[in-house]
Amino acid sequence: MPYIQIDMLEGRSAEQIKKVVKDITEVMVNDANASADAVNIVVRESRKDHIAVGGVLKSEM
């Protein structure tokens, strides 16, 4: 049972996220021989003021 976690910054629409999980599921079915029903995907979105790169918040970049 594949369990996939996706961490990304906030700002994508529900339709974009829906497409991402659909496409990743298809990859797992086609390339990893997984059953679509067995593919579990969790999408976690972070606020831009909660992520920093090089000591600078993404919200300030």
The active-site residue out of 2, 4, 12, 51 is 2
3-state secondary structure of 2: coil
The full DSSP string for 7-45 is EEES---HHHHHHHHHHHHHHHHHHH---GGG-EEEEEE
Is 2 annotated in the active site? yes
Mind telling me the catalytic residues?
2
